[in-house]
Structures are given as structure tokens and as C-alpha cells.
């Protein structure tokens, strides 16, 4: 009789452990599915944003003696530009080629749109981070002097 009780308790424990194991697998599957959904949404949003882009392929713009490389990065999707200009600053050259739009502020030009894609911190929590030669810029786009062969970029960034 005592052996039967012990066997019954062991059988009950085995059933409970197997149920817990099944629940854990379902939770893992649900977590994986949720993670995939978030990734799919992020990829869809990037595709949607790129649909708004004025230029979707690498492009050469402008005429002038000085040239620099400019690229736009939206969640890893990039469009590269070769900009030829006689303007003095990067901001002037990008405005001249209708690649950026923004508003004047106490700190200079607050860029809210690049290549037709918007990022407005006050509205969506994103902003355009400005880089010069792959380093976060120490000056604004409208006060950064152009140097022949330099690389500049705007990267859409979550604040």
C-alpha cells in the first residue's frame, strides 16, 4: 500500500512536469512569434519610409568644382549621392539639390526631412543625426564647410 502511494505520487509529479514542459514550449513559441512580428513591423516601416524617398537609387547631383559623398541611412537602408557643388557649406549644397528641408532655430538649421523622408522628434521621436567622415558631427549641417572628397550622412535615429 505504501509503495502504491509513492508510485502514485511519482506518477503525479511526472504528469505535472510534462504539463509544465508543454506550457514552457508554448510560451517560448509565443515569445518567438511576438519577436518575429516586431521585426516584421520594423522592416515594413523601413520599406514604407523608403517609399517616400525622393531618390531610391544611388545618384549624382549638381555641378561644381568640389565634390563630396553624401548618404542617407534609414534603419540600415542607404541611398548614396555624389554631390558636385560650388557652395561653401554642406547645408547649402544639400538645400540647393533639394535633399534636405528644415526650420531655422537658435542652433542653426533643424533638419526634419532628408531625401523626402521625415524625422521630427516632436512628432515621432526620431531625428536626423548628422555625421562627417563617419563621426558624429561637431557642427550643424549649415555651418559645416565642404572639403573635397569628404563623406557626410544623415542617419534616422530614435531619440
pLDDT in tens, 64-86: 999 999 999 999 999 999 999 99
- Separation CA 131–CA 107 (nearest Å): 17
C-alpha cell, 61: 547631383
Residue of 54, 78, 66, 64 whose CA lies nearest to 131: 78
Same domain, residue pair 138 and 109: yes
Residues 63 and 123 in one domain: yes
Whether residue 79 is found in the same domain as residue 13: no
Residue 43 confidence (pLDDT): 43
69 and 120 part of one domain = yes
Give residue 127's pLDDT: 97
19-33 core/surface letters (b: 16 or more CB in 10 A; e: else) = eeeeeeeeeeeeeee
Both 66 and 128 in one domain: the answer is yes
Contact 93, 146 (CB under 8 A): yes
Task: Verify that 43 and 69 share a domain, yes or no.
Answer: no
- Give me the domain span that covers residue 131: 59-158
**Top-confidence residue, 12 or 99:** 99
- For the ranges 7-16, 20-29, 92-101, 118-127, the lowest mean pLDDT is seen at 20-29
Domain identity same for 20 and 98: no
pLDDT of residue 24 exceeding 80, the answer is no
Residue 49's pLDDT band (boundaries 50, 70, 90)? Answer: confident
CA angle 124, 128, 134 (to 5 degrees): 145
* The model's pTM: 0.71
Predicted confidence (pLDDT) at residue 41 exceeds the cutoff of 50: no
The number of domains in the chain is 2
Distance CA 119, CA 64 (A): 29
Give the highest mean pLDDT range of 1-10, 18-27, 39-48: 1-10
| Model confidence pLDDT, tens digit, residues 112-155 | 999 999 998 999 999 999 999 999 999 999 999 999 999 999 99
Maximum Cα interatomic distance, the chain, rounded to a whole number of Å: 99
Query: Are residues 139 and 104 part of one domain?
Result: yes
Sheet holding 108-114, edge to edge: 100-105, 108-114, 117-118
Asked if 68 and 117 sit in the same domain, the reply is yes
To the nearest 10°, report the CA torsion of 129, 59, 44, 27.
-70
Check residues 61 and 18 and name the one with the higher pLDDT: 61
Band of the pLDDT at 45, cuts 50, 70, 90?
low
- Same domain, residue pair 20 and 96: no
Query: Is 109 found in the same domain as 67?
Result: yes
Amino acid at each position: 500500500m505504501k509503495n502504491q502511494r509513492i508510485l502514485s505520487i511519482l506518477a503525479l509529479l511526472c504528469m505535472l512536469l510534462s504539463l509544465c514542459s508543454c506550457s514552457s514550449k508554448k510560451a517560448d513559441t509565443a515569445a518567438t512569434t511576438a519577436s518575429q512580428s516586431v521585426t516584421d513591423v520594423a522592416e515594413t516601416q523601413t520599406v514604407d519610409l523608403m517609399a517616400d524617398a525622393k531618390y531610391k537609387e544611388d545618384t549624382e547631383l549638381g555641378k561644381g568644382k568640389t565634390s563630396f559623398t553624401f548618404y542617407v541611412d534609414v534603419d540600415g537602408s542607404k541611398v548614396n549621392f555624389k554631390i558636385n557643388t560650388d557652395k561653401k557649406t554642406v547645408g547649402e549644397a544639400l538645400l540647393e539639390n533639394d535633399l534636405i528641408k528644415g526650420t531655422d532655430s537658435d542652433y542653426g538649421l533643424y533638419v526634419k526631412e532628408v531625401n523626402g523622408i521625415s524625422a521630427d522628434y516632436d512628432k515621432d521621436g526620431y531625428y536626423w543625426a548628422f555625421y562627417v567622415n563617419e563621426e558624429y558631427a561637431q557642427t550643424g549641417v549649415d555651418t559645416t564647410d565642404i572639403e573635397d572628397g569628404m563623406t557626410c550622412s544623415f542617419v534616422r535615429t530614435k531619440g
